[in-house]
Amino acid sequence: MCLEAIKKRVLQLSLLFVFYNSYAQLTPEDKLGIWYDIGINQRISEKTSIDTYAQIWLYELNENFNFFLFKMGYNYHFNPKLKATIYLGYSDFDDNINISSPHTYEKRITEQIIFKHKISSIPFDHRFRIEHRFFRKHVSKSKAARLRYRFGTKFSISNVLFIRLHNELLLTPKSSSTPENRFYTGLGVNISKSNNIQLGYMNRNTSNKANLHRLQVGVFFKTDFRKKKKRAE
């Protein structure tokens, strides 16, 4: 093969490589993404508390933004087993893993009830949610409602370590898409009586039938202003 033919073949391969890298499309299933959570609960009185919560999703480990959510909620504690909450939230969503595309912004109102009980000393919790979602993308606007049910449990390994398990079903009425399912398992570390860190894994089967594998890192804090009031008295 002459030198000119070799140069021509190298040029063809180079162009093919550039073309492939330019047009090969990743999907969210191709990457092991990660979710970061931080939650703060502030107990105000025997019956009321305030929640502050933020979450960020990344398509890849520590890069490629996917989703951000911030919300605040007011809790009413009927008793130690039953709690009702109303949240106001805001989110920013990038639904394209490959390129920087226009984001979808959402305002969200959520009503929630959590019920806890035990069966043979094993604790279980049920979370019911109704979400009213208001979307904005470019100049277009839309809205939707979503129903969510989560069933979970928590096993203490020691005074420091625990295991958290839950499964959540998400359903959008009047939508032709299939329900979404999220299964989570994680190891928790109690850094104090009221604060913990959780390191876990989530398998998310989305409404468009994507099967996503995500790591999850959460930090959760609790403060109790009732103690401060009692000391002040």
pLDDT at 22: 41
Residue 230: CB partners within 8 Å, gap ≥ 6? none
How far are the Cα atoms of 51, 108, 109, 209 from residue 198, in angstroms, in the given order? Answer: 18, 26, 26, 27
Strands 104-119 vs 63-79: parallel, antiparallel or unpaired: unpaired
Q: Other C-beta atoms within 10 Å of 114: how many?
A: 17
Q: Where are the beta strands (DSSP E) in the chain?
A: 33-43, 48-60, 63-79, 82-93, 104-119, 122-137, 140-156, 161-171, 180-190, 196-205, 211-224
**Mean pLDDT computed over 101-112:** 95
CB atoms within 10 A of CB 39: 15
Q: 230 falls in which pLDDT band (50, 70, 90)?
A: low
Residue 129 has pLDDT above 60, yes or no: yes
pTM across the whole model: 0.85
Q: Does residue 128 surpass a pLDDT of 70?
A: yes
Q: Residue 188: which of 200, 198, 178, 180 has the closest Cα?
A: 198
- Please give the C-alpha separations between residue 22 and each of 15, 29, 94, 169, in angstroms, as whole numbers: 10, 19, 20, 37
Domains and their CATH numbers in the chain: 33-232 (2.40.160)
Q: Given this model, what pLDDT does residue 226 score?
A: 86
pLDDT attached to residue 16: 45
9 band by pLDDT with thresholds 50, 70 and 90: low
Q: What is the chain's mean pLDDT, rounded?
A: 89
Phi, psi of 158 (to 5 degrees): -155, -170
Q: State what percent of residues in the chain have pLDDT above 70.
A: 86
54 with 32: CB under 8 angstroms? no
* Per-residue pLDDT at 228: 64
- Region of poorest pLDDT, from 21-35, 139-153, 181-195: 21-35
pLDDT for position 17: 42
Q: Please compute the mean of the pLDDT values over residues 187-201 and round it to a whole number.
A: 96
